[in-house]
Amino acid sequence: MIRRSLPVVLTLLFSTSAWAGQQTLFSFVRPASVVNVATEGAGMPQYNAEQTAEGEVLRRVVFSPVERPTLRLSPQSGVWDWSTGRFLTLRMQSAQDWALTVDVTIVGSDGRKLTSRIDLPAGPAQTVMVPLTASSPLSQGMRAGPPMPWVYEGQRLLLTSSAGELDLKQVAAVSLTIPNPKVAQNLLIEKVGLQDDDVAFQAAYRELIDAYGQSTRGQWPEKITQDDQLKAADAREQQQLKVWLAEREKQQLDSYGGVLGGPAFEAQGFFRTQKRDGRWYLVTPEGHPFFSLGVNAVAADGGRTYVAGREAMFKGLPADGDTLAAFYGEGNNDDGNASSIGRSFKQGRWFDFYAANLQRTYGKPCPPADTEQAAAPCPAPQLDAERWQAHTLDRLQAWGFNTLGNWSDPGIGLVKRMPYTLPLSIVGDYASISTGMDWWGRMPDPFDPRFAMATERAVAIATRDHRDDPWLIGYFADNELAWAAPGNDPRARYGLAYGTLRLTTDVPAKRAFLKQLRDKYRNQQGLSKAWGIELQAWELMEDPGFEAPLPDPEHPEIERDYQYFQQVFAETYFKTISDALKWHAPNHLLLGGRYAVSTPEAVKACAEFCDVLSFNFYTLKPEDGYDFAKLAELDKPVLVSEFQFGSRDRGPFWPGPVEVAREEDRGPAYGNFLKAALAQPMIVGAHWFQYLDQPASGRLLDGENGHLGLVAITDVAYPGFVEAVRKSNLQAIGQLRAEAQQKAP
């Protein structure tokens, strides 16, 4: 039941707390002045406050199991002036043994609002700090902030993010809501206050990263505290790798990792696809079935993170002149894409923690100054690429992988120990279209002749050194293009059509769309009737900013026209790339578009012009990411070009798109995903994202800082995870072999 309470007497104090710069606005414990408190689906059943196990006194608020039970605070008259405040603070605690999600909404008198979501853990009371201007860890250069709560000056603090905009001189109300509780939830709250400085906020990020690139805020088994541990870990791993590689030599595999023991396919000298007995296969150059078990981003440059302007975040950066100072560099990732908007610290000086850790492990120190060898200058350290490549390949093969996934070091593929893939990155001055997503940039306009020229150039460069290499499986047609915006809203689903019609007619895609409509309807009267609009003149559609109508069941031609345009758009895009690749590298596969967000039109066109459909599935199972019944209708092999499972207990603060509770859960999740992939007869491989953990302080590209790796930024592998992965990979190859042997004559 939803109810609203009468005003309740609460404290309005102007006393200073334990922190300088903090004022208590109102207290739930010591009422002294009038503040309006309204509840909807919530209530305060006890008049008196209660004491917690830790000795603190707080007031209980019960949120009932309704859609949005809310506690709302507002001035008895007028508005609050919070213009001197930097943070709203709330001293609160979950009254149960489980965490609570609490939404905070601050509303101004003009209707604008600031919102924040609190993930309040179980345990003692803590002070939640809500920024009073839009803020997130991106303001500190990273995707996810450090673990919360943390103790500062004796208090447990929990920093949140906030979004929106607010006139702090005209604050009308503060609301606390628990979204959609299934049972009653109890929250204990003491007071609400304002903090007018950011001292505690800055302290939360100070000396957050240690000299090895690890978080200083936690402990875990693989954490490194001194250089000798790196060398000892390497020695232990080398012994294990020898055993596993010796076992691999006994497996029945061809030169490329294809499975022996069953009926062979025709050997054509390059990787190809073939369907047999209802199942799709990749086929090795030697003619054997191959299930691609890959790893993305197998490269030695993934440990770079910007340090310029936030040096206080790092504890132990090498001084200029230090041996490890050789691993500083300069960069600029302020590219204007949505992936960089709102992020600070995205250009300037960076430091490569991974390379520095490799130097600590394998590098040769300069001779002591009092020796004869010291007479010659000591060269600056640099990555021993040959040694790193050999060790990395040993690892991947020992762990049961057989493919170098996208964005891997091209040089490691040329070693000719493991099949590899390559990306096609098409850049140029061609026109582009916004679909409303634009994470990695706007959609290229394939109707623009300059796109065809850029494609020709990109394909020629990408294939130049690989045209006749049988170890190359194929090329990906770019990555995670913005075919649509996320969500089921028609403006998201048909973002490409809407975005095109908003442009001017100097954009070739706009001219192509208008020609499609003109050829079909002849004039504005025909279009107006079909779309149910009043278009006074055809020229009005040519104007920039033209807003097309939403799909309407009474006027089905609207949706049909959008679908047809998006189909032709996708066909033009993939045909342009396919034609160029067939000319420059006719023996290699076109591996699809690595879809994150897609449309049926884009997938259908990809199936027509590419050899393989590729999807980045951040889901527990492949079938959670797409309707495989519809994929089956296209009758095309499918490659899972990215999947991942991460946790928060190994240093990096972001678990990635798919989170599991603990490090120990990553291996079972990997095994379940791979088992589900093998059960789909159209899936020909699955590629893990990625080889190396991202820097805890954020990678150069966009600030992502995920625990995604098989290997930590210290180059220490996660032993439990890689053992589980190896077991699953070997089981996958064993299943493929068993299926092949069953089909033997």
* Mean pLDDT along residues 419-447: 95
- Tell me how far apart the alpha carbons of residues 259 and 729 are, in angstroms, rounded to a whole number: 13
Please write the tens of the pLDDT for every residue from 67-94: 999 999 999 889 999 999 999 999 999 9
Q: What pLDDT is attached to residue 307?
A: 98
Phi then psi dihedrals of residue 659, to 5 deg? -100, 140
Please write the tens of the pLDDT for every residue from 406-416: 999 999 999 99
Q: What pLDDT is attached to residue 32?
A: 55
- Tell me how far apart the alpha carbons of residues 634 and 324 are, in angstroms, rounded to a whole number: 53
Residue 29 pLDDT level (bands cut at 50, 70, 90): confident
Lowest mean pLDDT among 172-186, 252-266, 292-306: 252-266
DSSP 226: S
* Mean pLDDT along residues 253-262: 92
5 pLDDT exceeds 50?
no
51 pLDDT exceeds 50?
yes
Are 218 and 209 within 8 A, CB to CB?
no
Q: What pLDDT is attached to residue 31?
A: 59
**What stretch of H or E contains 272?**
strand 272-276
- Tell me how far apart the alpha carbons of residues 293 and 674 are, in angstroms, rounded to a whole number: 9
SS (H, E, C) 112-140: CEEEEEEEECCCCCEEEEEECCCECHHHH
Percent of the chain with pLDDT over 70: 94
- Tell me how far apart the alpha carbons of residues 545 and 587 are, in angstroms, rounded to a whole number: 45
The domains of the chain are located at 8-198
* Mean pLDDT along residues 527-552: 93
> Please, what's the b/e burial string for 412-435 (b: 16 or more CB within 10 A of its CB; e: otherwise)?
bbebebbbbbbbbebeeebbbbbb
Q: What pLDDT is attached to residue 364?
A: 74
* Mean pLDDT along residues 516-526: 95
* Mean pLDDT along residues 448-462: 97
Is residue 634 packed enough to be buried (19+ CB in 10 Å), middle (13-18) or exposed (0-12)? Answer: middle
Task: Give the end-to-end CA distance of the chain in Å, rounded to a whole number.
Answer: 70
Q: What pLDDT is attached to residue 20?
A: 59
- Tell me how far apart the alpha carbons of residues 415 and 421 are, in angstroms, rounded to a whole number: 14
Residue 17 pLDDT level (bands cut at 50, 70, 90): very low
Are 473 and 271 within 8 A, CB to CB?
yes
367 pLDDT exceeds 70?
no
Establish how many alpha carbons lie within 13 A of residue 198's alpha carbon, considering only the half-sphere containing its beta carbon: 11
Query: Is it true that the peptide bond before 149 is cis, omega within 30 degrees of 0?
Result: yes
437 pLDDT exceeds 90?
no
* Mean pLDDT along residues 341-370: 88
Are β-strands 87-94 and 163-164 bridged in parallel, bridged antiparallel, or unpaired?
A: unpaired
Number of alpha helices (DSSP H) and beta strands (DSSP E) in the chain? 16, 32
Percent of the chain with pLDDT over 90: 84
- Tell me how far apart the alpha carbons of residues 443 and 707 are, in angstroms, rounded to a whole number: 30
Mean residue pLDDT across the chain: 92
What's the CA angle centered on 345, arms 342 and 348, to 5 degrees? 135
DSSP 276-290: ETTEEEEE-TTS-EE
Q: What pLDDT is attached to residue 240?
A: 97
Residue 376 pLDDT level (bands cut at 50, 70, 90): low
Q: Quick one: fold of 8-198?
A: Jelly Rolls (2.60.120)
8 pLDDT exceeds 70?
no
197 pLDDT exceeds 70?
yes
13 pLDDT exceeds 60?
no
Tell how far CA 321 is from the center of its chain.
36
Are 717 and 237 within 8 A, CB to CB?
yes
374 pLDDT exceeds 80?
no
Nearest to 49 by CA among 20, 8, 85: 8
* Cα-only R_g, the chain: 29
* Mean pLDDT along residues 481-488: 91
* Mean pLDDT along residues 599-627: 98
- Tell me how far apart the alpha carbons of residues 737 and 156 are, in angstroms, rounded to a whole number: 55
Q: How far is CA 378 from CA 134, 325, 364, 375, 577, in A?
A: 49, 14, 10, 9, 49
Tell how far CA 647 is from the center of its chain.
13
Residue 152 pLDDT level (bands cut at 50, 70, 90): very high
16 pLDDT exceeds 50?
no
Question: Who contacts 602 (Cβ-Cβ below 8 Å, separation ≥6)?
Answer: 483, 566, 570, 593, 595
DSSP 572-633: HHHHHHHHHHHHH-TTSEE----BSS--HHHHHHHHHH-SSEEEE--SSSGGGTS-HHHHHH
3 pLDDT exceeds 50?
no
**What stretch of H or E contains 540?**
helix 539-542
Q: What pLDDT is attached to residue 34?
A: 65
Q: What pLDDT is attached to residue 371?
A: 56
